[in-house]
Structure 1
């Protein structure tokens, strides 16, 4: 039974955590973001919530761009490390052992271990409470074709997805995960 409370109840997990990368000048950073979303298919637009005090926020504002990266479960340590370390202490990529390449349309790093990554140019930034919602036009897409089936869904024989539960814990969607189709049928 549901009970009422005045305390904030946040329930958005389990979910994929995006690794947000940005670079301005010679400074680059990576952060973990649980609050992110597609906004539009045509044109392709993506948004992410980033608190202004985050080091990555300043790099995104200065460069006008960012990248969204998704890594398989075997690299969940990147998510954990990117969320716990600060870029103000130096290069997180070196400290976490993350390999990357430069984006094609932006300077932000694209993780070489990512199975999907998006390059985004900032379109808009708006403050909502304690976070800014940063909206980007998606300018380039990267996808590891080997991990997707003919239906364009991840093939769990080839990739394990880390679904974040909170507090450094993950539910791993892998070959043992049941994929169940539940089509809607209108009742008469």
Structure 2
């Protein structure tokens, strides 16, 4: 049985979060380098265009990352593996240290172009320059132009987020048609 949401349910952020959570997403850590480096877990990341190569990330306007990213104008993205749920939790924790100290507990290397911290053992790294920023309700949508990328040689699955929890892919079952 389906449940139809009316105007009251659309205004209820808990109900809306549960509904949005039915769409599985990958999990990334978005980072900014420079004098005040910062990182945050983000599942609101996606590719936009191949030509030119563009991606987007959405950042809450009240988040520390918002002002840091606006000032820096460039960012890195580390696509996490299914083994890196601990990193996703760490960069989502508002009680972790701020600035360069937050990277003391994790393996990383500076991006060759942006200097943004790129997390060790991630599936893929992107470095981007902010092309545009768009208002999107309580978030800003940052459109980034890729300036570098690197991919892991290891064949691992991505960390997923679904219904408020981290998930892993199961091997596909060989289903036989009736």
Whether TM exceeds 0.5 here: the answer is yes
1:121: Cα distance to partner? 0.3
Match of 1:76 in 2: 85
Q: 1:120 to 1:179 in 2, by over 3 A?
A: farther
Q: TM-score, normalised by structure 2?
A: 0.83
> Contact 1:55/1:88 (CA < 8 Å) preserved in 2?
no
SS in 1 for 2:3: coil
Match of 2:125 among 94, 110, 117: 117
1:162 counterpart = 2:170: no
1:125-136 alignment to 2 at 5 Å? 125-136=133-144
RMSD over equivalenced CA pairs, Å = 2.1
SS in 2 for 1:48: strand
Q: 1:23 to 1:103 in 2, by over 3 A?
A: same
SS in 1 for 2:4: coil
Match of 2:167 in 1: 171
Match of 2:73 in 1: 64
Residues in 1 aligned to 2:95 and 2:135: alpha-carbon distance in whole angstroms: 22
- The number of equivalent residue pairs is 164
Instruction: Provide structure 2 residue ranges, at least 5 long, that are not aligned to the other structure.
Output: 11-15
Q: TM-score, normalised by structure 1?
A: 0.79
Instruction: Provide structure 1 residue ranges, at least 5 long, that are not aligned to the other structure.
Output: 148-158, 182-188
1:14: Cα distance to partner? 2.1
SS in 1 for 2:106: coil
1:124: Cα distance to partner? 0.6
Match of 1:150 in 2: none
1:145: Cα distance to partner? 2.1
1:77: Cα distance to partner? 0.7
